[in-house]
Amino acid sequence: MKLRPNAIGITRGQGALLFDEEGKSYIDAVSSWWVNLHGHAHPVIADAIYQQANTLAHCMFAGLTHEPAVAYAEQLLPLLPGTMSKVFYSDNGSCATEIAIKMALQVFHNRGAVRKTIVALEGSYHGDTFGAMAASSRGLFTAPFDDKLFQVVFIPVPTSDNAAVSLAALTKILATQDVAALIIEPLVQGAAGMQMHNAHALSALFKATHEHGAFVIADEVMTGFGRTGTLFACEQLTESPDMICLSKGITGGTLPLAITACSADVFDAFYTDDVTHAFYHGHSYTANPIACAAALASLKLLLSDESTTRRAYIETAHQRFAQEIRQNERIDNVRTCGTIIAMTIKTVGGNGYLSYERDRIYHYFLARGILLRPMGNVLYLIPPYCITHEQLQHIYQAIREFLESDSHADLPII
């Protein structure tokens, strides 16, 4: 609150734009924390929300069920990679991953087997609650709580260069510890700074995990719903996960909702006559009908030809722009995956989340009507799919100018 006192008052949104109290517009180049898919205040989703609020706004999801939750599960399951058989509703991405971890551990508990180790990737981010933090790499976000977090084994990220090292590390852990699950963000590690890895190498990790009878949890909270060029990132792999966590884009960026989908293998371990085998986890707003109605409307928009065309356009535009700026001496590691483009700005000082470059980048683009939220010295775009050609080209042009600007200029007053 002290260091960043001047939040911008936003009064409305339309398409890829947000408008502040003075009427100034900003292109939302990061989809408001990666959640918005089809644009702000989308009339189709708004109407679905209105209709549902007038019909059934909420009922508890225990002993009761309702059409929007059932319909969404029925429509989503066949679209998911692998053979997912059930969905478990919650209301945010941290819960979705925490639920997946609890499910994996309880499957073995219910089976009377001892398997307690969770394996994750270095640099991983799975959310901000304690279980999700435990599965996330230790650092700035977790430091005050590190002694309270359960132990997780971290392995190197399966990049093209590091495939063998990553697989060897996992194989060793699988051979020496009782692993319950491997949890990963497939293809793109979002909060790590949009770091990308190799589909083939990741598939090898899935395969090794399965050969040892452990589960793979795909945290697609960020990568889901078309971000990586396919509807879900795991479609690009040759092996399937056993659980998939979804949240950010699920309602098109309108209401909180999350899903942990699982295979029949996982579900069956809970489907017994023993009441102690139940999964005792429920949130007050689980499967909220209005959120489910928003998710149904968002899914329909996502599957439309128009959205598919828009995503293909963004992907091609990103690739072209990446090609153009790849050799620029001010940046490293220009990378794209589907509708995501990221680059690392070279700094003379510190790298990482607290890099001084962050504020410089943020204010440079804000002054040009573009809302970015760099992660340290990583500049990235993950725009709503409705972004127009002119808006996207305006952002690229601002990046070109930024790369030519004086990198040692004084920091702006925040």
Ligand X SMILES: *Cc1c(COP(=O)(O)O)cnc(C)c1O
219 is in an annotated binding site: yes
12 is in an annotated binding site: no
Residue 64 CB, shortest distance to ligand X, in Å, is 25
Q: Which of 221, 371, 382, 386 binds ligand X (CB under 6 A)?
A: 221
Nearest to 405 by CA among 367, 361, 373: 361
320 is in an annotated binding site: no
* Cβ proximity to ligand X, 269 vs 291, nearer residue: 291
Residue 404 CB, shortest distance to ligand X, in Å, is 32
Q: Which of 125, 215, 321, 364 binds ligand X (CB under 6 A)?
A: 125
Please report the DSSP string for 222-262 in residue order: TTTTTTTSSSSGGGGSSS--SEEEE-TTTTSSSS--EEEEE
39 is in an annotated binding site: no
Cβ-count burial of 374 within 10 angstroms (0-12 exposed, 13-18 middle, 19+ buried)? buried
| Cα–chain center distance at 36 | 12
| Span interacting with ligand X, options 193-201, 216-224, 227-235, 330-338, rule CB under 6 A | 216-224
Residue 132 CB, shortest distance to ligand X, in Å, is 6
d(CA 213, CA 115): 10
- Residue 98 as a binder of ligand X (CB under 6 A): the answer is no
The count of other CB atoms within 10 Å of the CB of residue 198 is 17
Written as six digits, the tokens of 340 are 């995501």
Question: How many residues in the chain?
Answer: 414
d(CA 264, CA 355): 45
Q: Which of 190, 226, 338, 384 binds ligand X (CB under 6 A)?
A: 190
Cβ partners under 8 Å of residue 171, min gap 6: 208
| Span interacting with ligand X, options 198-206, 214-222, 270-278, 374-382, rule CB under 6 A | 214-222
The 4-43 contact track toward ligand X, x by CB under 6 A, reads ----------------------------------------
* Cβ proximity to ligand X, 82 vs 127, nearer residue: 127
Sheet of 117-121: strand order equals: 84-90, 258-263, 243-246, 215-219, 179-184, 117-121, 153-155
34 is in an annotated binding site: no
* Cβ proximity to ligand X, 372 vs 399, nearer residue: 372
139 is in an annotated binding site: no
Q: Which of 31, 36, 90, 94 binds ligand X (CB under 6 A)?
A: 94
CB 241 within 8 A of CB 218: yes
Residue 237 CB, shortest distance to ligand X, in Å, is 16
Please state at what angle helix 389-404 crosses helix 357-366, rounded to 10 degrees. 130
Q: Which of 36, 247, 344, 391 binds ligand X (CB under 6 A)?
A: 247
Q: Which of 98, 219, 242, 315 binds ligand X (CB under 6 A)?
A: 219
* Cβ proximity to ligand X, 126 vs 360, nearer residue: 126
CB 14 within 8 A of CB 40: yes
d(CA 149, CA 271): 30
- Residue 93 as a binder of ligand X (CB under 6 A): the answer is yes
d(CA 405, CA 3): 25
d(CA 232, CA 186): 9
- Residue 126 as a binder of ligand X (CB under 6 A): the answer is yes
Q: Are strands 84-90 and 117-121 parallel, antiparallel or unpaired?
A: unpaired
Please give the residue whose beta carbon sits closest to ligand X in the complex: 93
d(CA 368, CA 166): 42
Q: Which of 29, 120, 181, 185 binds ligand X (CB under 6 A)?
A: 185
d(CA 313, CA 243): 30
- Residue 222 as a binder of ligand X (CB under 6 A): the answer is yes
Residues at the interface with ligand X (CB under 6 A):
92-94, 97, 125-127, 185, 190-191, 219, 221-222, 247-248
Q: Which residues are annotated as a binding site for pyridoxal 5'-phosphate?
A: 93-94, 219, 283-284
Annotated binding site: 33, 93-94, 125, 219, 248, 282-284, 373
Q: Which residues are annotated as a binding site for substrate?
A: 33, 125, 248, 282, 373
